[in-house]
């Protein structure tokens, strides 16, 4: 019988300890119990390619790192405004739509839609920029770019990958030829909506792709009969321009 009483006393003691350890302390007058808040672990990619997570009682995304100004195309979807800029390197998309927040909407915004603008402000939540200043400006995007074999570059709305040099029949600089020849490259063109892998030559007319026209301008180095250069060391210059209506050439 004594063993039973001892066992009961031990159980009561363990229960009392568990109560005071695991049962939260009741609130006293004027006291508040701190609530733990667990946010999901998803990340938001910022315009510069960095990522921010969620925090705070509302689990909102932390503000992206700001910079002095941003330039891009002003667009609108429903009642929301966005600044379309080139996507960060390494991301699958070609362009990045950065949400804009205006303290008040004026008629000026309507005149700036689908135009290239510069904005200044500060990120409030995530990648949403609260705009202090907006003005129309000339596009800063280059229309030409030099790409090495195996390299990918963004040029004026199109991401171009130079896969390989297919042919270089140009007359070497140290030889005399009857025909001028041409340089042919295999390239992959990618926009937000289109994807195409084709052969392009410097003798071809500009090729229509999505809303642009793409052309192979030149290639370096120029061939030498006395010192041939491997195709893997070639660099090709491409030009990307906006495609005007009825000007596409395929």
Q: Which of 91, 113, 136 is the last residue of a domain?
A: 136
Would the pLDDT of 188 be above 90?
yes
Based on the fold, state whether residues 149 and 237 are members of the same structural domain: yes
Residue 131 sits in a domain whose CATH number is 2.40.50
Specify if 6 maps to a domain: no
Distances (CA, A) of 113 to 72, 76, 83, 134, 158: 11, 7, 10, 12, 21
Based on the fold, state whether residues 110 and 178 are members of the same structural domain: no
Could you give the number of structural domains in the chain?
A: 2
Based on the fold, state whether residues 115 and 88 are members of the same structural domain: yes
Average pLDDT of the residues in 66-80: 89
Distance (Å, rounded) from C-alpha 196 to C-alpha 189? 5
Whether 104 and 124 have beta carbons less than 8 Å apart is answered as no
Structural domain boundaries, residue 110: 44-136
Whether 183 and 165 have beta carbons less than 8 Å apart is answered as yes
Q: Which of 136, 162, 184 is the last residue of a domain?
A: 136
Closest CA to 144 of 206, 73, 192: 206
Specify if 2 maps to a domain: no
Specify if 177 maps to a domain: yes
Q: Which of 136, 154, 187 is the last residue of a domain?
A: 136
The rounded Cα 65 to chain-centroid distance in angstroms is: 15
Cis amide bond preceding 221, omega within 30? yes
Average pLDDT of the residues in 140-163: 89
Specify if 24 maps to a domain: no
Specify if 32 maps to a domain: no
Task: Give me the percent of the chain exceeding a pLDDT of 90.
Answer: 35
pLDDT at 91: 67
Would the pLDDT of 217 be above 70?
yes
> Does the global pTM surpass 0.85?
no
In this predicted structure, which of 41-55, 58-72, 84-98, 236-250 has the lowest mean pLDDT? 236-250
Would the pLDDT of 198 be above 60?
yes
Place of tokens 């689908």: 114
Q: Give tens-digit pLDDT for 94-106.
A: 888 999 998 876 7
Would the pLDDT of 16 be above 70?
no
Would the pLDDT of 164 be above 70?
yes
For 241, what's the count of Cα atoms within 13 Å in the CB-facing half-sphere? 13
- What is the residue-averaged pLDDT of the chain? 81
């Amino acid at each position: 019988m004594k063993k039973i009483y001892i066992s009961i006393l031990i159980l009561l003691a363990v229960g009392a300890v568990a109560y005071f350890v695991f049962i939260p302390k009741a609130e006293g007058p004027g006291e508040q119990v701190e609530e733990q808040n667990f946010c999901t672990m998803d990340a938001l990619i910022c315009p510069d390619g960095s990522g921010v997570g969620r925090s705070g009682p509302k689990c909102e995304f932390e503000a992206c790192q700001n910079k002095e100004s941003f330039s891009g195309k002003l667009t609108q979807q429903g009642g929301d405004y966005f600044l379309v800029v080139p996507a960060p390197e390494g991301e699958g998309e070609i362009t990045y739509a950065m949400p804009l927040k205006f303290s008040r909407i004026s008629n000026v915004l309507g005149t700036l839609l689908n135009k290239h603008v510069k904005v200044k402000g500060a990120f409030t939540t995530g990648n949403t920029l609260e705009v202090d200043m907006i003005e129309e400006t000339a596009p800063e995007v280059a229309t030409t770019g030099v790409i090495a074999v195996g390299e990918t570059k963004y040029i004026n709305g199109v991401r171009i990958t130079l896969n390989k040099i297919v042919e270089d029949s140009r007359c070497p600089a140290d030889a005399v030829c009857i025909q001028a020849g041409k340089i042919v490259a295999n390239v992959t063109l990618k926009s937000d909506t289109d994807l195409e892998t084709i052969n392009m030559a410097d003798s071809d007319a500009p090729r229509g792709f999505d809303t642009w026209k793409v052309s192979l301008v030149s290639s370096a180095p120029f061939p030498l009969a006395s010192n041939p250069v491997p195709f893997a060391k070639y660099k090709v210059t491409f030009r990307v321009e906006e495609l005007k209506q009825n000007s596409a050439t395929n």
